[in-house]
Amino acid sequence: MPDFVHPFWSWYIIIPVVLGLVFCVVLVYLNTTSKPPGETETTDHVWDEDLEEYNNPLPRWWLNMFYITLVFGAAYLLLYPGLGSFPGFLGWTSKGRYDNEVQAAEASFKPLYDAYLATSLDVLEQDVAAMGTAKRLFATNCALCHGADARGATGFPNLRDHDWLWGGEADAIKTTIAGGRNAVMPPWESALGQSGVEQVSEYVYSLTRDPINPALVAPGQQHYNTLCAACHGPEGKGNPMLGAPDLTDNVWLYGGSLGAIRQSVALGRNGVMPAFEGQLNESQIHLLTAYLGSISESE
C-alpha cells in the first residue's frame, strides 16, 4: 500500500478511477438500446450514390465483453491495491508476496546452508558444489564492486592477491563481510603545503622503486615519520588493525604512479565496504569466506 504524504493524493487517484469506470458503464449502456425490427437509421454518409452507412447498435456479444471487462476491473480494484491508499479486501502487497517467497526459499535452502555452516572452511574450499553456490553469491552481492573475477578496480581491492587491508585471516574476512569497513586517509595538503606533499609523495614512491627526484626523499621521510608513521608504520608496512595499507609491496588501491600517490597524500581517500550482515545470513557469509580463500590461494 503506498504511503502518501497527504490524503489529497489518495483521493486524487481514487476519484478519477471511479469516475472513469462509471463513465465507461454509462457509455456501454447507452449503446445497448436495440432498434425495433425494420427500423433503420443512417449517418447520412453516402458513397457511390447508393452505398449508405447505417447507425446500428453494437453486437450483443461485443457489449457483453465490455461489461465483463468493467466488472473484472471493479472487482480487481476492490480486492487488490489500486485505489489510492485503499489496500484492497485481500490485503495483498508486493512486499508481502516477496517476503513469503523469501521465507519459502530460506526454508527450502536452510538444511543445505546449515550443512555448509557446520563444515570447516578448508573442506568447503574443496567442495565443487559449495563453491559453485558461493560463486553465485559473490556474483550477486560482491561482483558489482570487486568485479566478476574478484580482481577489483581502482578504489576496489583485488581479492586474489593476498594483500588484505584489514587482514586475510578467516575471522577478519568474516568481520569485513558482515560488518563492513570504513577506511579514511586524511588529506594532508593543508598541513604539509604543496612542497610537503611533493616530498612525502616522493618518499612513498621510493619505497617500491627508484625515486624520480632523489633530493625530495629525505625531507619527505621526515614528514612521513611525523604524520604518516602512526598509521602506516615507521617502515611503511601498514597496519591491518586500522586498514592502513602496506606501502612497500607495490600493491596500490588507488594507483601507484607518482601522480596518484600525490593525490592520495594531498586530498586523502575514503573507502567504504558496506555491511552485509542484514542481507546475508551466517551460513552465506561462511560460504563466501571459503570462496575468497579458495580464489586467493589459486593465485
Q: Which grid cell sits at 259?
A: 601522480
Report the pLDDT value the prediction gives residue 297, as an integer from 0 to 100. 60
Q: Which grid cell sits at 75?
A: 472487482
Report the pLDDT value the prediction gives residue 1, as an integer from 0 to 100. 47
The alpha carbon of residue 170 and the mean position of all alpha carbons in its chain are separated, in whole angstroms, by 25
Q: Which grid cell sits at 37?
A: 425490427
Q: Which grid cell sits at 266?
A: 594531498
* C-alpha span between 294 and 122 (Å, rounded): 9
**DSSP, residue by residue, 119-150:** S-HHHHHT-HHHHHHHHHHHHHHTHHHH-TTS
Structural domains of the chain sorted by starting position, each given as residue range(s) with its CATH number in brackets: 7-79 (no CATH), 104-180+275-297 (1.10.760.10), 183-273 (1.10.760.10)
Give Cα separations from 91 to 1, 81, 94, 127, 184 (angstroms).
9, 8, 10, 44, 47
What lies within 8 Å, CB to CB, of 174 at 6+ separation is 285, 286, 289
Report the pLDDT value the prediction gives residue 256, as an integer from 0 to 100. 94
* C-alpha span between 251 and 174 (Å, rounded): 22
* C-alpha span between 125 and 161 (Å, rounded): 17
Residue whose C-alpha is closest to residue 287's, from 133, 160, 150, 172: 133
Residue spans of the chain under pLDDT 70: 1-3, 33-40, 297-299
With residues binned 3-state (H G I as helix, E B as strand, rest as coil), the percentages for the chain, rounded to 5, are: 55, 10, 35
Burial 128-154 (b: 16+ CB within 10 A, else e): eebbebbbebbeebbeeebeeebebee
Report the pLDDT value the prediction gives residue 289, as an integer from 0 to 100. 96
* C-alpha span between 249 and 228 (Å, rounded): 17
Report the pLDDT value the prediction gives residue 2, as an integer from 0 to 100. 56
